[in-house]
Amino acid sequence: MSRSVRTRPEGSGQALSEAYDTALLDLDGVVYAGGSAIAYAVESLAEARAGGMRLAYVTNNALRTPDTVAAHLTELGIPTGADDVITSAQAVARLISEQVPQGARVLVIGGEGLRVALRERGLVPVESADDDPAAVVQGYGGPELPWGRFAEAGYAVARGVPWFASNTDLTIPSGRGIAPGNGAAVEVVRIVTGAEPQVAGKPLPPMHRETILRTGAKRPLVVGDRLDTDIEGAFNGDVDSLLVLTGVTDGAQLLAAPPRHRPTFVDADLRGMLRGQPDVVAVGDGGFGCGGWTATAGADRLELDGDGETLDGLRALCAVAWTAAGAGVCELDGEKALARLGL
């Protein structure tokens, strides 16, 4: 699909919760962090829901079942049903079900979320490469997943059994720091077998398809904190996105984003769903303005003048950086400009 290259964040005269019918929300870094709700998340989501927006929670973590995720969100003060949660386990189970017969055995390297999703599709989870599986599926199994599980996957894949992965995120946040994610586990089997799995999770199309099938969204807005999963997933699905700065993405990464990682809108947190978004306008010779800020490109760096809301300055800088980069990555130094914004 041919897409025009985004060169600036867009504006919206309407609150985003009114302009879009469904929010497809990432969880970690957007709604909660370390198990606790992120500031303003509970209130913002309640207001968006009260205004008629459907809320769906979309996660690449295949370990937890939708019931478990929904219970956690409800405990945080965000009333959620299992039908409001879409996981990469569900997406990969659908992908497998389209390629193997009903009732087929599937070797599971992962946790309960995968097993529940496979059963939902009429497939039978098994534990050994000697159980004659029709497919192998890998999903995040938690820190206690035994090393021998990777050997089982390797045995089956080496015999030519089709291999699937819920997602390939190399890392996953934990209460003690960054831990290996399912992508790291997938690399183990790849190294042993030389094979490549079919992958379902964000940012790939099977995950987006799963969210649309389950929510019925007509005008969805992807809301996330990661450029390489949430925002790229929206790009691949050809839908709009809101990047919130409560998770892993910082200002420098945003300015250097290639086209597939450039969000439609940028805001500090989930309160951004409840308001319109300011326009970024061209000013002067190659500059861009937003709010009280004007950003321009010097010979080797981005420059920023004015004052006002921090996010307005960042939006103006994005427009200059993305325009300068075109379809590539901006190589102008934005450190001083970002420091002026406290980012």
What's the chain look like in SS3?
Answer: CCCCCCCCCCCECCCHHHHCCEEEECCECCCEECCEECCCHHHHHHHHHHCCCEEEEEECCCCCCHHHHHHHHHHCCCCCCHHHEEEHHHHHHHHHHCCCCCCCEEEEECCHHHHHHHHHCCCEEECCHHHCCCEEEECCCCCCCCCHHHHHHHHHHHCCCCEEECCCCCEEEECCEEEECHHHHHHHHHHHHCCCCEECCCCCHHHHHHHHHHHCCCCEEEEECCHHHHHHHHHHHCCEEEEECCCCCCHHHHHCCCHHHCCCEEECCHHHHHCCECCCEEECCCEEEECCEEEEECCCEEEEEECCCHHHHHHHHHHHHHHHHCCCCCCCECHHHHHHCCC
Q: What is the pLDDT of residue 178?
A: 82
Distances in whole angstroms, Cα of residue 40 to Cα of each of 46, 47, 78, 87, 269: 10, 11, 12, 24, 7
pLDDT digits (tens, 9 = 90+) for 300-337: 999 999 999 999 999 999 999 999 999 999 999 999 99
67-76, 254-263, 284-293, range with the lowest pLDDT:
284-293
Distances in whole angstroms, Cα of residue 62 to Cα of each of 4, 39, 117: 33, 26, 9
- Catalytic positions, please? 26, 28
Q: What is the pLDDT of residue 285?
A: 85
18-22, 131-135, 174-178, 221-225, range with the lowest pLDDT:
174-178
Share above pLDDT 90 across residues of the chain, in percent, rounded to a whole number: 93
pTM of the model: 0.94
CA atoms of 132 and 184, how far apart (whole Å) = 26
Q: What is the pLDDT of residue 222?
A: 98
Residue 1, pLDDT above cutoff 50: no
Share above pLDDT 70 across residues of the chain, in percent, rounded to a whole number: 99
Tokens representing 333 are 């130094």
Q: Taking all residues of the chain, what is their mean pLDDT, rounded to a whole number?
A: 96
Residue 148, pLDDT above cutoff 70: yes
Q: What is the pLDDT of residue 281?
A: 97
At residue 2 the predicted structure's pLDDT band, cuts being 50, 70 and 90, is: very low
pLDDT digits (tens, 9 = 90+) for 250-288: 999 999 999 999 999 999 999 999 999 999 999 988 899
pLDDT digits (tens, 9 = 90+) for 92-120: 999 999 999 999 999 999 999 999 999 99
pLDDT digits (tens, 9 = 90+) for 180-212: 999 999 999 999 999 999 999 999 999 999 999
pLDDT digits (tens, 9 = 90+) for 8-48: 999 999 999 999 999 999 999 999 988 899 999 999 999 99
